[in-house]
Amino acid sequence: MRFEWIVATRFLREGRMQTALILGGTAVGVAVILFITALINSLQVSLATRTLNTQAHIVVRPPDDAASRALAPADASVAARVEARAQRLRSIDQWEAVFRRLEGTARVTAVSPVVSGSGTALRGNANRAIALFGIEPERYVRIVKITDFMVAGEFRVSPGNAVIGVELAADLGATVGDRIRVTTPEGGNDVFLVTGLFDLGVKDVNKRWALVPLKTAQALLALPGGVTNVDLTVDDIFAAEEVARLIEGGTGLKAESWMAINTQLLAAFDNQTMTTRVIRAFVVLIVALGIASVLVVSVVQKQKEIGILRAMGASPGRIMRVFLIQGAIVGTAGAVVGSAVAAAMVAVAKRVLLAEDGTPLITGGIEPYMLAGGALVALATGLLAAVAPARRAAKLDPVQAIRG
């Protein structure tokens, strides 16, 4: 193969302008593909992460109370319609066992028992409907990193203390160090010292959430020793649904992933991914056309040289390989240059594309698998694009090529 390589590289070096043009085109193509992939991946992860600031990846709950049809006695008429039951607040049966089982489940990274229900917060003349969460603070912060979102006081959830949303505090006219009363429909009634305020960036959460110790909430919601749900995180957020299905199958409980809850967000991700794919396909096509057209011109320009090489004993197959190698070289070199350009673009984008809070929108970079993929695609594109010009070169009649 040496002969083919020598001639291919020499032809490329000789047609400096053309080589620079196709190399540039290929590099830009590869850079665009890598950059857009990194950008979309990063945007999706960052959007999902933002969404998951306030959500567990998976929430495990007791199964719904279902009304069942009575077994019909013979000759008796049976109710035609069965009304759905109102869902009362219930604890997960044997939740400690469930909890241990979930802790041992593959891919699950954190588990936190929660008892939650509705209540009312009162202070002076103000009263607000709240979502009351009884948590074990050390475990809960591993699900929702409240500690990162404290705007006043500290995250101290211990007997007699509560941490509440910043807007709930404003509505109640309370601040850190004030006391608020919490009552529940189950007849619970207790007073808490507000030790901290958080801002999770979601109005509804900031306006309604109150975090108190698990045991206190159990008493307030009349569920002594029980938990209403177990919150989980998993190692790969996009695997949450899969893990949830496994948990449902294994425990008979209801497991809902963030993906099932945020279907619209996921649909948007799917659309984005599809759009990116289409863009990438077109970029590959354009790069292929660019390489092919430049090589076709090169074949025409080099007719005479090809004819001479054929006269001197080079077979059509070897002439073909000379041009295929040129395509492969251009593709591979374009991928190398393009990867460097993409890395630079990502670095710039990290500084320029910022979210409202000043953090970069792009968090991830260009992963090794993307580089490998980009190089493979570029190599294949270069080779395929070179097929038509190479065949044309191989088919050249040396007599015609040499004449005059």
Partner 1 sequence: MSGANREILRLEGIRKSYNVGTPVEAEVLHGVDLSLDEGEFAALIGPSGSGKSTLLNTVGLLERPTGGRLFIRGREIGGLDEAGLTELRGRTIGFVFQFHHLIPAFTALENVMMPMLIDRGAPDAPMRERAAWLLEQVGLAAAAAKKPAELSGGMQQRVAIARSLAMNPPLVLADEPTGNLDTHTADEIFELLRRFNAESRTAFLIVTHDPRLAARCDRRIELVDGQIVEAKGPPWPVD
Q: Among residues 19 and 116, whose Cβ is nearest to partner 1? A: 19
Instruction: Tell me if residue 354 falls in helix, strand or coil.
Output: strand
Q: How far is the CB of 11 from partner 1 (least distance, A)?
A: 6
Do residues 371 and 281 make contact, with C-beta atoms less than 8 angstroms apart?
Answer: no
Residue 249 in the binding site for partner 1 (CB under 8 A): no
Q: Among residues 380 and 402, whose Cβ is nearest to partner 1? A: 402
Residue 398 in the binding site for partner 1 (CB under 8 A): yes
Residue 305 in the binding site for partner 1 (CB under 8 A): yes
Q: How far is the CB of 314 from partner 1 (least distance, A)?
A: 5
How far is it, in rounded angstroms, from Cα 56 to Cα 44? 17
Q: How far is the CB of 25 from partner 1 (least distance, A)?
A: 22
Instruction: Tell me if residue 112 falls in helix, strand or coil.
Output: strand
What residues between 1 and 20 interact with partner 1 by CB under 8 A? 1-3, 6, 10-11, 13-14
Q: How far is the CB of 332 from partner 1 (least distance, A)?
A: 21
| E strand segments, 64-149 | 108-123, 126-135
Structure tokens, 36: 């857009």
Give the pairing of strands 189-198 and 161-165: parallel
Q: How far is the CB of 378 from partner 1 (least distance, A)?
A: 25
Q: Among residues 256 and 305, whose Cβ is nearest to partner 1? A: 305
For residue 239, what are the contacts with CB-CB under 8 A and spacing of at least 6?
107
What residues between 182 and 211 interact with partner 1 by CB under 8 A? none
Residue 300 in the binding site for partner 1 (CB under 8 A): no
Residue 297 in the binding site for partner 1 (CB under 8 A): no
Output b/e per residue, 270-293; b: 16+ Cβ within 10 A: eeeeeebeeebeebbeebbebbbb
Nearest partner of 231 among 317, 117, 142, judged by Cα: 142
How far is it, in rounded angstroms, from Cα 107 to Cα 111? 11
Instruction: Tell me if residue 10 falls in helix, strand or coil.
Output: helix
Do residues 61 and 232 make contact, with C-beta atoms less than 8 angstroms apart?
Answer: no
- Given candidates 136, 260, 316, 341, which one binds partner 1 under the rule CB under 8 A? 316
Residue 167 in the binding site for partner 1 (CB under 8 A): no
- Given candidates 49, 275, 315, 359, which one binds partner 1 under the rule CB under 8 A? 315
Q: How many residues bind to partner 1 according to rule CB under 8 A?
A: 25
Residue 309 in the binding site for partner 1 (CB under 8 A): yes
Q: Among residues 7 and 108, whose Cβ is nearest to partner 1? A: 7
Do residues 162 and 194 make contact, with C-beta atoms less than 8 angstroms apart?
Answer: yes
Residue 323 in the binding site for partner 1 (CB under 8 A): no
Q: Among residues 307 and 338, whose Cβ is nearest to partner 1? A: 307
- Given candidates 243, 295, 314, 346, which one binds partner 1 under the rule CB under 8 A? 314
Residue 308 in the binding site for partner 1 (CB under 8 A): yes
Residue 391 in the binding site for partner 1 (CB under 8 A): no
Q: How far is the CB of 404 from partner 1 (least distance, A)?
A: 7
Compute the C-alpha angle 217/222/228, nearest 5°: 65
How far is it, in rounded angstroms, from Cα 350 to Cα 160? 44
How far is it, in rounded angstroms, from Cα 207 to Cα 222? 24
Q: Which residues pair with 56 in a beta bridge?
A: none
Residue 304 in the binding site for partner 1 (CB under 8 A): yes
Q: Among residues 11 and 35, whose Cβ is nearest to partner 1? A: 11
Instruction: Tell me if residue 197 falls in helix, strand or coil.
Output: strand
Helix, strand, coil % over all residues of the chain, rounded to 5: 55, 20, 25
Residue 142 in the binding site for partner 1 (CB under 8 A): no
Interacting residue ranges for partner 1, rule: CB under 8 A: 1-3, 6, 10-11, 13-14, 304-305, 307-316, 318, 398-399, 402, 404
